[in-house]
């Protein structure tokens, strides 16, 4: 597995990371704990050194899982986690709102360090921008945590370009994480140019369109009520039927490249910028190995132009999130 650096930082990681959320949180049933620990070990064995989790995933259980599984590999892997949500007081899944007040950030840092079994958090993202807390206060708090040796790098998730600039002026931002894929390209308008200008790495989550770009979902697929896709406009049967044209295109181009739709979608992301590191989520070894095959797919400039030309003829139907979650993005 080749390595990439996130922007101008010295943070070097595998060119594909691993999103860990669904191993213990999200749609049910979640993975068996021992199986997930073995799966994470298999990911390390295959060269993955970048793992993504968050306090809110569970809450807490995902960090605990990742911390236990990756403890034997301390110093060899990079773990990113996140702060920013006000969790339900009874400890049940979900949150009551946003909370990035300095005292809350420091509390989350201390608790995440214990769950992850780390002396310092490698990359600490603000999960969503809190409109009630100036981003300068957030960045200043992370700067203090870095000076104290409790955090190594600062990240932002789903932040707008102006917020990124303001935060970076106080404490250099190592990475911005946002949804980005062949079916959600809005970051190209302002966020990616800002990252390039400031020397910030970019980490696309949902690089496979929450599974749609694998080609294994169609209009007849059903989702459990616990699966967020059951509430996403882009995943209504009508939208899936309309968006199938994108999968048909990936299958056609993939046949020419000897790649699956998932591999093609990931290879396209890797070809965009050398400081982009996608984090496809997985909990099955066969899916992990398929995703890793994307690093061997080398798209030429002609290939990319053909994809660009074909994609430009397609309009993806449906919002990527329910309205309540859309309001938290791009601030």
Residue 39 CA to residue 23 CA, distance in Å, equals 10
Q: Is 327 helix (H, G, I), strand (E, B) or coil?
A: coil
Sign of CA dihedral 293, 297, 303, 308: positive
Residue 58 CA to residue 26 CA, distance in Å, equals 8
Measure CA of the first residue to CA of the last residue in the chain; give whole Å: 34
Helix axes 102-116, 61-70, angle to 10 degrees: 40
Residue 144: name the closest of 107, 114, 113, 102 by CA: 102
What is 148-185 written as a DSSP string? Answer: TTSEEEEEEES--HHHHHHHHHHS-EEEEEEE-BTTB-
If one counts every other C-beta atom within 10 angstroms of the C-beta of residue 320, the result is: 20
Residue 289 CA to residue 291 CA, distance in Å, equals 5
Q: Among the options 57, 125, 180, 205, which is catalytic?
A: 57
Please list, in sequence order, all residues whose beta carbon lies within 8 angstroms of the beta carbon of residue 70, skipping any fewer than 6 positions away: 40, 44, 51, 77, 79
Examine the residue annotation and report whether 57 is marked as an active-site residue of this protein: yes
Residue 67 CA to residue 169 CA, distance in Å, equals 32
Residue 159 CA to residue 194 CA, distance in Å, equals 11
Active site residues: 57
């Amino acid at each position: 597995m080749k390595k990439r650096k996130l922007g101008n930082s010295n943070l070097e990681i595998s060119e594909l990371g691993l999103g860990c959320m669904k191993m213990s949180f999200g749609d049910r049933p979640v993975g068996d704990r021992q199986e997930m620990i073995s799966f994470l070990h298999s990911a390390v064995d295959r060269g993955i050194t970048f793992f993504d989790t968050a306090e809110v995933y569970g809450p807490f259980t995902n960090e605990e899982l990742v911390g236990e599984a990756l403890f034997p590999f301390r110093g060899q892997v990079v773990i990113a986690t996140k702060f920013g949500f006000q969790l339900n007081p009874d400890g049940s899944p979900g949150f009551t709102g946003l909370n990035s007040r300095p005292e809350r950030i420091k509390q989350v840092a201390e608790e995440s360090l214990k769950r992850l079994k780390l002396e310092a958090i490698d990359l600490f993202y603000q999960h969503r921008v809190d409109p009630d807390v100036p981003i300068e206060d957030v960045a200043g708090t992370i700067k203090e945590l870095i000076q104290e040796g409790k955090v190594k790098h600062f990240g932002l998730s789903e932040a707008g370009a102006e917020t990124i600039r303001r935060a970076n002026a106080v404490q250099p931002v190592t990475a911005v994480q946002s949804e980005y894929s062949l079916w959600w390209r809005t970051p190209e308008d302002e966020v990616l140019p800002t990252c390039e200008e400031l020397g910030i790495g970019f980490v696309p989550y949902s690089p496979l369109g929450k599974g749609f770009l694998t080609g294994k979902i169609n209009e007849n697929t059903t989702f459990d009520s616990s699966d967020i896709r059951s509430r996403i406009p882009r995943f209504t049967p009508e939208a899936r039927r309309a968006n199938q044209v994108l999968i048909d295109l990936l299958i056609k181009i993939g046949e020419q490249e000897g790649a699956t739709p998932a591999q093609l979608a990931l290879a396209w992301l890797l070809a965009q910028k050398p400081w982009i590191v996608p984090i496809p989520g997985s909990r099955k070894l066969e899916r992990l190995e398929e995703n890793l095959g994307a690093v061997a797919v080398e798209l030429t400039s002609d290939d990319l132009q053909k994809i660009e030309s074909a994609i430009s003829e397609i309009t993806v139907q449906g919002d990527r999130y329910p309205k309540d979650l859309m309001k938290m993005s791009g601030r």
